[in-house]
């Protein structure tokens, strides 16, 4: 804690940030702190305000209200060129009249650095495009342009680097490789990265902290493990991975546990994992991740009478769709360790899991919020 004062020096603070286009609020009262030197991922569905947030931090969009500061310096209204911030644009925005080399050298030259050759050559080698230095942007493929956009920003080593889906156009192999490179640069140089992505796996593997954004607000913020194991809203539970959510009624509490009745079954939830804001009407949603459920081994929490309607084999695991007596379909992922291989479509099974994996959410919420079959994304 001795370091606390020092480490807040370059933290990025967004305070009650609002951006309205007409009467539509693209970013709605957003507040967060991004510690200096951290890798921060902003995850959310299309149109939730990620790009708008980055544009305000970069100074390309003026907030309707709220404050942006780095350390103690208020930069809310600073000009974009006066901020120690660089952006990798979602649409690349390379300079069409300049060669790749000059594109990358642009920021260095503007800061009066005379000898740019070494830095540019090095960063071009990093993105493996050194051989294209003399080409023009139109002569590059989409993925190559994207890597140049990354190179053009990181060559400046800014205090804060904003990356708007910087790897979206790359194939899986190159994407993984660039993820490692980016992560390496970030830790090596100690830059703060704000990384916008659609790819949950990318966010989970790279980021120290993930903020899940929805309709201009932060739904939940925390480490990848925290977000995955303890989602606090239905949106997060569905958007990050998959969740089974079942309606239930709180019956009472015993010790540190909550007793919930779920379609006649008694389910135990640790009180600490009850994230419903208000239990006054006693209705809750019980949540359990599919891979936490076991079909074979009895545990304290059990829902019986399910019928297997679909089995799909996906290599490391097998995914079961199970129809419960009240009509709802639940998902179960079983490891392919031989235990569940005899199960067949139409079998009646009981689903069991340990109470500590259960979480409880607000019972009035829409069960489908944040599921991947989002009308925007089809």
Q: Which residues bind other proteins (CB under 8 A)?
A: 58-60, 79-81, 85-87, 89, 91, 93-97, 106-107, 110-111, 136, 138, 152, 156
- Our CB check for ligand ATP shows the closer of 21 and 95 to be 21
CB of 69 to Mg ion, least distance (A): 23
Does the footprint of Mg ion cover residue 51 (CB under 5 A)?
A: yes
Strands 317-323 and 301-313, sheet pairing: antiparallel
- Our CB check for Mg ion shows the closer of 197 and 358 to be 197
| CA gap 63, 267 in Å, rounded | 47
- Our CB check for ligand ATP shows the closer of 278 and 376 to be 376
The option from ligand ATP, Mg ion, other proteins, none interacting with 113 (CB < 5 to 8 A, set by class) reads: none
Q: Under a CB-based contact definition with an 8 Å cutoff, are residues 370 and 236 in contact? A: yes
| CA gap 10, 69 in Å, rounded | 9
Provide the token pair at 162.
């904003």
The three-point CA angle 154-155-161 to 5° equals: 25
C-alpha of 19 from chain center: 21
The option from Mg ion, other proteins, ligand ATP, none interacting with 49 (CB < 5 to 8 A, set by class) reads: ligand ATP
- Our CB check for other proteins shows the closer of 98 and 343 to be 98
110 burial (CB, 10 Å; 0-12 / 13-18 / 19+) is exposed
CB of 50 to Mg ion, least distance (A): 5
The dihedral formed by the CA atoms of 246, 250, 251 and 255, expressed in degrees to the nearest 10 = 110
List of residues contacting ligand ATP (CB under 6 A)? 21, 26, 44, 46-52, 90
The option from ligand ATP, Mg ion, other proteins, none interacting with 111 (CB < 5 to 8 A, set by class) reads: other proteins
The option from Mg ion, other proteins, ligand ATP, none interacting with 110 (CB < 5 to 8 A, set by class) reads: other proteins
Q: Under a CB-based contact definition with an 8 Å cutoff, are residues 343 and 307 in contact? A: no
| CA gap 99, 105 in Å, rounded | 10
- Our CB check for ligand ATP shows the closer of 19 and 292 to be 19
The option from Mg ion, other proteins, ligand ATP, none interacting with 26 (CB < 5 to 8 A, set by class) reads: ligand ATP
The option from ligand ATP, Mg ion, other proteins, none interacting with 277 (CB < 5 to 8 A, set by class) reads: none
Q: Under a CB-based contact definition with an 8 Å cutoff, are residues 267 and 301 in contact? A: yes
Which one of 36-44, 45-53, 168-176, 202-210 is the stretch in contact with Mg ion (CB under 5 A)? Answer: 45-53
- Our CB check for other proteins shows the closer of 79 and 297 to be 79
| CA gap 85, 149 in Å, rounded | 14
- Our CB check for other proteins shows the closer of 142 and 252 to be 142
For the beta sheet containing 348-353, the strands, ordered from the edge strand earlier in sequence to the opposite edge, are 329-335, 317-323, 301-313, 348-353
CB of 373 to other proteins, least distance (A): 32
Provide the token pair at 9.
């020096």
- Our CB check for other proteins shows the closer of 91 and 335 to be 91
CB of 197 to Mg ion, least distance (A): 10
The option from ligand ATP, Mg ion, other proteins, none interacting with 89 (CB < 5 to 8 A, set by class) reads: other proteins
- Our CB check for ligand ATP shows the closer of 48 and 293 to be 48
Name, in order, each residue with C-beta under 8 angstroms of 129's C-beta and a sequence gap of 6 or more: 100, 144, 147, 148, 151
Closest-by-Cβ residue to Mg ion is: 51
The option from other proteins, ligand ATP, Mg ion, none interacting with 52 (CB < 5 to 8 A, set by class) reads: ligand ATP
CB of 105 to ligand ATP, least distance (A): 28
CB of 35 to other proteins, least distance (A): 23
Helix (H) or strand (E) holding 316: none
Question: What does the binding site for Mg ion look like in residue numbers (CB under 5 A)?
Answer: 51
């Amino acid at each position: 804690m001795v370091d606390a004062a020092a480490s807040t020096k370059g933290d990025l603070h967004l305070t009650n940030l609002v951006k309205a286009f007409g009467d539509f609020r693209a970013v709605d009262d957003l507040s967060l702190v991004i510690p200096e030197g951290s890798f921060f991922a902003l995850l959310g569905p299309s149109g939730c305000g990620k790009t708008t947030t980055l544009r305000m931090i970069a100074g390309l969009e003026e907030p309707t209200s709220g404050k942006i500061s780095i350390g103690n310096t208020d930069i809310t209204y600073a000009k974009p060129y006066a901020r120690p911030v660089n952006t990798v644009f979602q649409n690349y925005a390379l300079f069409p009249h300049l060669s790749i080399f000059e594109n990358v050298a642009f920021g260095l030259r503007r800061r009066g650095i005379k000898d740019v050759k070494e830095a540019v050559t090095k960063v071009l080698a990093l993105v493996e495009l050194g051989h294209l230095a003399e080409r023009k942007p139109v002569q590059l493929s989409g993925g190559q342009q994207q890597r140049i956009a990354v190179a053009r920003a990181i060559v400046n080593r800014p205090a804060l680097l904003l990356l708007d889906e910087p790897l979206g156009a790359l194939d899986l192999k190159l994407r993984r490789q660039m993820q490692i490179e980016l992560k390496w640069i970030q830790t090596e140089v100690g830059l703060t990265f704000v990384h916008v992505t659609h790819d949950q796996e990318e966010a989970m593997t790279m980021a120290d902290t993930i903020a899940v954004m929805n309709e201009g607000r932060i739904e939940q913020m925390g480490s990848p493990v925290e977000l995955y194991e303890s989602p606090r809203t239905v949106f997060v539970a569905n958007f990050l991975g998959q969740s089974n959510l079942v309606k239930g009624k709180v019956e009472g509490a015993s010790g540190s546990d909550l007793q919930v009745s779920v379609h006649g079954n008694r389910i135990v939830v640790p009180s600490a994992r009850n994230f419903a804001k208000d239990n006054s009407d006693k209705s809750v949603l019980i949540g359990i991740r599919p891979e936490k459920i076991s079909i074979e081994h009895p545990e304290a929490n059990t829902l019986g009478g399910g019928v297997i309607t679909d089995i799909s084999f996906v290599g490391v695991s097998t995914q079961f769709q199970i129809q419960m007596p009240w009509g709802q379909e639940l998902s179960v992922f079983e490891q392919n360790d031989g235990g569940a291989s005899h199960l067949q479509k139409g079998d009646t099974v009981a689903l069991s899991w340990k109470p500590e994996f259960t979480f409880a959410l607000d019972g009035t919420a829409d069960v489908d919020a944040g599921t991947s079959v989002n009308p925007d994304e089809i």
